[in-house]
């Protein structure tokens, strides 16, 4: 069949890469795509992925049998609703299901209603009550823009001054309309862990664990980013914690199949957890594949992604069977100098071919493009995801950094400690 993937980042390159391996894939389109997807699919640069009618027209014109929605914005905009109404198979929830990510307040109320453990919180639409609550809770404290902010609307403040400044910045428009409502919550303590699940028919089919590195610099220092590196599986998670996270995902999936949800949730549900001394607690739910978690989860999937996504899209939970490789996966993100702040584009990238000659190495493109001379150049904050598989955690980490050393562009920025803390064991978080 012909398949259309919406999105243009590293997540979408990884999804397209996995779909392209299936014998069931005929023509593969990615909108808008990037420099990496261009090598395995048809990039569609001029399609407005947040306009359901435009996507529908393209799908009809190109006989698309499956639409895979990668980013959160088209989901929140209701693109899946438009396509499903016309009978297309869509991987991704409708707008109501996407509110689990599109509104942090809605998500917290969902957790409360279904007995899902999470941090104490309150949401505000006015500055003064928000500041009063910050002073009541004390620091450290977490300030979140309620709406979509490209993964950057979360500020972990270590003192009251920073917390109050974060609240003011939200209401002053730092995150646009996303910050018109502000969620303030207690700061949980412990390691973070992501557990994603395919969800359809009220059932969750959990994937393998992954652990992202949000901070920009080594030692978990600097501002939050969209993610600077990730690995899978997570060695510090014990059996009880894994069972607890799975139970949460199953509970949440079941809840999406009943009121107030009017239509069945079909797509990925992302559970972001904190492994606290009281057990796993949910930091957030997302309504799509994580980025960069997808880049280490899908290379470990030992099953046909087309079969899985179609079963999800068509509401056939009994036809879903997941199998996972025993290998470890480590991803190091190469970013533009200055990210997550201002950065320059157009830097020529060299060495990807040499890096991918290493055993077990795949480079997923995030922010890349071709210039007028057909050279591969940087075109975003996060530029490349260097992924390595290995028979051990250490082997995968070493191989990933060996590949990183082979890739060069002006201003290349990356963390040198991806996975280092977890390799030292759970006591590294004590």
pLDDT, mean of residues 147-154: 80
Class of domain 328-429: alpha beta
Q: Is the pLDDT of residue 152 over 80?
A: no
- Topology of domain 2-95, per CATH? Rossmann fold (3.40.50)
pLDDT band at 154 (very low <50, low <70, confident <90, very high): confident
What's the whole-number average pLDDT of the chain?
Answer: 96
pLDDT band at 155 (very low <50, low <70, confident <90, very high): confident
Residue ranges of the chain assigned to CATH 3.90.600.10: 328-429
Write down the pTM of the prediction.
0.95
At residue 223, the pLDDT reads 86
pLDDT, mean of residues 356-380: 97
Class of domain 126-180: alpha beta
**Per-residue pLDDT tens for 25-41?**
999 999 999 999 999 99
Q: Is the pLDDT of residue 307 over 80?
A: yes
Quickly tell me which residue has 């970013």 as its tokens. 335
At residue 178, the pLDDT reads 85
User: Is the C-alpha dihedral spanning 397, 398, 400, 404 positive or negative?
Assistant: positive
Quickly tell me which residue has 């607890």 as its tokens. 244
**Per-residue pLDDT tens for 29-77?**
999 999 999 999 999 999 999 999 999 999 999 999 999 999 999 999 9
Q: Is the pLDDT of residue 221 over 90?
A: yes
Residue ranges of the chain assigned to CATH 3.40.50.20: 2-95
Residue ranges of the chain assigned to CATH 3.30.1490.20: 126-180
Q: What is the CATH number of domain 189-319?
A: 3.30.470.20
**Per-residue pLDDT tens for 238-280?**
999 999 999 999 999 999 998 888 889 999 999 999 999 999 9
């Amino acid at each position: 069949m012909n398949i259309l993937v919406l999105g243009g980042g590293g997540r979408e390159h990884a999804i397209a890469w996995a779909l392209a391996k299936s014998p069931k894939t005929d023509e593969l389109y990615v909108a808008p795509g990037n420099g990496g997807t261009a090598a395995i699919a048809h990039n569609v640069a001029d399609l407005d992925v947040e306009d359901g009618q435009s996507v529908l027209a393209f799908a009809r014109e190109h006989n698309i049998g499956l639409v895979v929605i990668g980013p959160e914005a088209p989901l929140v905009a209701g693109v899946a609703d438009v396509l499903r109404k016309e009978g297309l198979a869509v991987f991704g929830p409708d707008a109501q299901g996407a509110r689990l990510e599109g509104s942090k307040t809605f998500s917290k109320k969902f957790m409360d209603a279904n007995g899902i453990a999470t941090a104490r919180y309150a949401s505000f639409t006015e500055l003064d009550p928000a500041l009063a609550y910050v002073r009541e809770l004390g620091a450290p404290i977490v300030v979140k823009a309620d709406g979509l902010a490209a993964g950057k609307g979360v500020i972990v403040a270590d003192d009251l001054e920073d917390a109050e400044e974060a609240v003011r910045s939200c209401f002053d428009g730092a995150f646009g309309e996303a910050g018109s409502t502000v969620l303030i919550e207690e700061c949980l303590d412990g390691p973070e862990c992501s557990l994603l699940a395919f969800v359809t028919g009220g059932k969750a089919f959990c994937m393998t664990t992954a652990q992202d590195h949000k901070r920009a610099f080594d030692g978990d220092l600097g501002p939050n980013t969209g993610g600077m590196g990730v690995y899978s599986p997570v060695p510090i998670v014990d059996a009880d914690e894994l069972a607890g996270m799975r139970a949460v995902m199953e509970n949440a999936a079941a809840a999406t199949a009943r009121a107030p949800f009017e239509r069945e949730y079909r797509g990925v549900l992302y559970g972001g957890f904190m492994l606290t001394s009281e057990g796993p607690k949910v930091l957030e739910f997302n309504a799509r594949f994580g980025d960069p978690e997808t880049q280490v989860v899908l290379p470990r999937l030992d099953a046909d992604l087309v079969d899985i996504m179609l079963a999800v899209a068509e509401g056939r939970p009994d036809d879903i069977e997941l199998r996972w490789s025993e290998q470890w996966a480590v991803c190091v993100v190469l970013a533009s100098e200055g990210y997550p702040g201002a950065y320059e584009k157009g830097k020529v990238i060299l060495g990807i071919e040499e890096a991918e000659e290493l055993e077990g190495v795949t480079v997923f493109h995030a922010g890349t493009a071709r210039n007028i001379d057909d050279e591969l150049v940087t075109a975003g904050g996060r530029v490349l995801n260097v992924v390595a598989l290995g028979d051990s955690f250490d082997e995968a980490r070493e191989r990933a950094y060996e590949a990183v050393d082979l890739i060069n562009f002006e201003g290349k920025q990356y963390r040198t400690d991806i996975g280092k803390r977890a390799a030292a064991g759970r006591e590294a978080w004590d």
